[in-house]
Chains A and B, each alone.
Chain A
Amino acid sequence: MLLSIQDLKVAFRMGKVDGVMQRQLAVKGVSFDIPENRTVALVGESGSGKSVTAMSILNLLPDNAERSGAILFQGRDLLKTSLRELQSVRGREIACVFQDPMSSLNPVFPVADQIMEPLVKHLGMSRRQALVRAEELLNEVGIPDPKRRLKSYPHEMSGGQQQRVMIAVALACSPKLLIADEPTTALDVTIQRQVMELLARLKESHKMSMLFISHDLGVVGEIADQVVVMRHGEIREKAPVADIFHSPKDAYTKALLACRPSLTENPARLMVIDDHIAGRSAQGAGKAKDPAAPVILEVKGLRKSFFFKSGLFSKTEFKAVKGVDFQLRKGHTLGVVGESGSGKTTMGLTLLRLHEPTGGQVLFEGKDLLKMNGPDWQKMRRRIQVVFQNPYASLNPRFTIAQTLLEPMEIHGIGASHDERVATASALLKKVGLDESALHKYPHEFSGGQRQRIAIARCLTLKPEVLVLDEAVSALDVSVQAQVLNLLKDLQDEFGLSYIFISHDLAVVKFISDEVLVMQHGDVVEQADARALLAAPQQEYTKRLLGAVPRGYQGTEPAASVA
């Protein structure tokens, strides 16, 4: 047994109240083993204590954490070792890869220095030897032209490449255990697929074990041998991956499995955790929408370029969106899919004129949005609204929820009096599944999913007809994502909203969309009915996106495989 965690408890000191130290128990007695050459996955939602468990192995926790229990690594208890000893283990025998590669690489050092650091420190190599080894490592993690890339700075690389560099740093000393803390969550599905394949390959070639942390059972199923499901700091189920997928015992595991939108089924609603635990089942297949509904939004040749200064007088043009055409019918959803940099977000923001477009037409009931000015545009704003990706950034942290919800109504003069507006706001909060006590709280008191609901409620105060959802569920846990997707569907049925749903995840887009637009490098490469597109993708790019969607464990059950 390489690593054995026995009855681990982690508590955080939360400051004194009336002279008594307050402690919050984040991990409530967790035990599991990581055998040699195996991948163990820790799965759970945000706040389940999975990261805290993993980080307590190397004591990479904040100072106010208290650990108890035992963590035996090759027979040595890591909880009792001195800091010095621990430092010789960190990076040498146990290495980490973190979630956000953009913030885990040091921006002021070239890549070479960051890979060489552990080599020089732990293996006592000379800088010359370390440089040679660094080049080999970059080659191994699949970065093209490694010799030249050694001199690059992190910001010169894409997110996927940065994550590969992080993996190279972690692998530098051939550790026995690699802790990968949500290594693909911040990445696009296509990049996620590549990074996962890389990790699986390296695990084999380096004969190491891996502790893989994720909130997404779909991802875990493809990479893990053993799965540990955690919730609220406790282990709900631990079993080999095949058992987890084919015969899950715990209700929570079942719920987690059910809440990810799949490419094969076509339910009207997704299962959410509470449904599942309460034994309710999802309703039947979704009803088809009226294909003859009136066209509410028509976009013709929409273009957007950004200009960069190059030299003294000249500018270079970067075409972010190169002519997009589509029609959106009332009550329908248009999914827009593509990788980062495909121009899908720019397209969405240009529709709302949050970026001023370079050319094209956006006809809203026959009137060109892009030619409107002043008061006309202000009136039109009510009818087309946006929900942003990051729920942590899209609410003003200094506004209470009441202020946030009342502001749009005040600007547009909706509701006769303050009390009437407050009543509308609390009604909308109920509609999105929060109660009116939320009105007097600040955004930071809510979880990501709740904040996204508040952002949706804010849009609804204006009674819009078109809602642009810019990666609105991408930053959320799979289970929370299911709740928000259900909410969006309910709201669409109730208010007849039309959505433009921008996402990099085809499975999510398929669940919610009627029509799908696939974008690459600012161009539309494919546009078709959602079901038709998934059944028979025409373009290579679409096929690649489709192939990248995590499918969970595909081992022994042939029925689960996708054509």
Chain B
Amino acid sequence: MSAVLSNQPAAAAPAKRSQGVWAASWRRLKADRLGVFAMVVVALSLLLVLAAGLGLVARDWQKETGVPNAPPTFMGPAPAESAGAIVQPKGPNVDLSDIDPLAPKYAEWAEKAKQYKTDEAPRAETLTFGGDRLGRDVLAKAIKGAEISIMVGVLAAVVATLIGTVLGALSGFYGGKVGDFLEWVYNVFTAMPNILLIFAFAVVFGRGVLPVVMILGLAGWTGIYRLVRAEFMKHSVREYVRSAEAIGASKASRMFKHILPNVSHVALVQLSLHVVGFIKSEVILSYLGLGVSVDQVSWGTMLAEAQSELILGYWWQLAAVTGFMAVFVTAFALFTDALRDALDPKLRGLE
């Protein structure tokens, strides 16, 4: 190396030094247009969840602002219902006051009622995205429901991935007795029907949002465990792990510093798949009455309501929830996909 040449890397070094692993990953993520778009959608969804949680939007989702089952604005108001098959009697009204034992009280009650003011708010004929059977705005419900559904889906998936990854890492890396024990735990969990397992946990944890997270997380880690275990078994005998052992890296360091980043794509993909799955599971739990309480709303409870409404031709609640779910779930899956590619230095520069 000549002196002239050796000067160059030194000058370029400070600029390059800032390029850490994360900075490089971020740069790669930014280059992925679809990934950035998905990330923006996910970020907006999370902002919406935060806003709903703080009461900035959809605070009055319980207010009955429209007529029951108000159709969406673009469909126009529902046609007035025909009176039905019962024929109205045509004769004059019969005076029953002689034989009505409550008749003397009517005047008194009418007097008392005048002391209170009833404020019958005008109910809108149509709402932007329609109303439910109580006339609540579907859009507000869907936004408020996103708060619980997304929180449950993401948190439960994180819990499940965490349990599955840690146990899978231990089992795959150590093998032997530890592996056998964890396999036994896995077998116990998978031998039980899933719904039974969920019921059992529901009895322990009770009702509410956090219990749902724990129930789903504890019942849903098994698939991730197996995949991560297989990856760890494969990687723990690889030469790069051997060479880490040879330089004296501890077991924990080999497991989590060396192997984990190399198998993180498995965990990430599983995470995104489980978010989707757990949002759906929350629906089932809520439907069975094990989910969130009645004064809360989630996409799950909305879907449960939509089921009976659909028969009557009120499709908008279903459409609103499905739309929200589809956008979020797709964006989340695309985002994790982009994240995996960005975190993988091997894919850099390929088509």
Contacts and interface: CB of A to CB of B under 8 A. Distances in A.
B1 A458 contact: no
B41 to A, nearest CB: 25
B246 A381 contact: yes
Nearest to B1: A435
A354 B242 contact: yes
B248 A354 contact: no
A261 B250 CA distance: 39
Nearest to B9: A437
A462 B249 CA distance: 13
Nearest to B243: A394
Nearest 6 A-B pairs (CB), nearest first? A408-B247, A15-B351, A394-B239, A398-B261, A442-B345, A393-B239
A554 to B, nearest CB: 37
Contacts of A395: 240, 243
A476 B351 CA distance: 27
A95 B142 CA distance: 63
A408 B239 CA distance: 16
B85 interface: no
Contacts of A354: 242, 245-246
Given A398-B345, A440-B19, A444-B346, A14 B351 contact: yes
A382 interface: yes
18 contacts: A14-B351, A349-B242, A382-B248, A393-B239, A395-B240, A396-B262, A397-B345, A398-B21, A398-B262, A407-B244, A407-B247, A411-B247, A412-B248, A430-B1, A437-B12, A437-B16, A440-B16, A455-B243
A114 interface: no
A407 B250 CA distance: 11
Interface residues of B, number: 31
Most buried by B among A394, A396, A440, A455: A396
Interface of A: 13-15, 64, 349, 352, 354, 378, 381-382, 385-386, 388-390, 393-400, 403, 407-408, 411-412, 430, 435-437, 440, 442, 444, 455, 458-459, 462
B39 to A, nearest CB: 22
Contact of B248 (A396, A400, A408): A408
A18 to B, nearest CB: 12
B17 interface: yes
B249 A407 contact: yes
B258 interface: yes
Given A15-B350, A400-B21, A458 B243 contact: yes
A440 B17 contact: yes
A27 B136 CA distance: 69
Given A436-B9, A444-B345, A396 B247 contact: no
A386 B351 contact: no
B251 interface: no
Contact of B351 (A13, A399, A436, A437): A13
Nearest to B248: A381
Contacts of B245: 354
A396 B351 CA distance: 23
Interface of B: 1, 6, 9-10, 12-13, 16-17, 19, 21, 238-240, 242-250, 253, 258, 261-262, 345-346, 348, 350-351
Contacts of A15: 350-351
Contacts of B243: 386, 388, 394-395, 455, 458
Nearest to A381: B248
Contacts of B351: 13-15, 64
A14 B16 CA distance: 25
A440 B18 CA distance: 10
Nearest to B13: A436
B35 to A, nearest CB: 16
A407 to B, nearest CB: 7
A381 B247 contact: yes
Contacts of B1: 430, 435
Contacts of B250: 411
A455 B258 CA distance: 16
B9 A386 contact: no
A142 B249 CA distance: 47
Given A386-B243, A458-B243, A397 B262 contact: yes
Given A400-B21, A444-B345, A394 B240 contact: yes
A394 B243 CA distance: 7
A206 to B, nearest CB: 40
A396 B244 contact: yes
A378 B248 contact: yes
A13 B351 CA distance: 9
Given A354-B242, A437-B12, A440-B17, 10 more contacts: A13-B351, A64-B351, A381-B248, A385-B246, A397-B262, A408-B248, A411-B248, A412-B247, A436-B10, A442-B348
Contact of B246 (A352, A435, A440, A442): A352
Nearest to B262: A398
A189 to B, nearest CB: 22
A411 B257 CA distance: 13
Given A385-B246, A396-B244, A407-B247, A390 B13 contact: no
Contact of A388 (B10, B12, B242): B242
Contacts of A412: 247-248
B115 to A, nearest CB: 76
Contacts of A403: 21
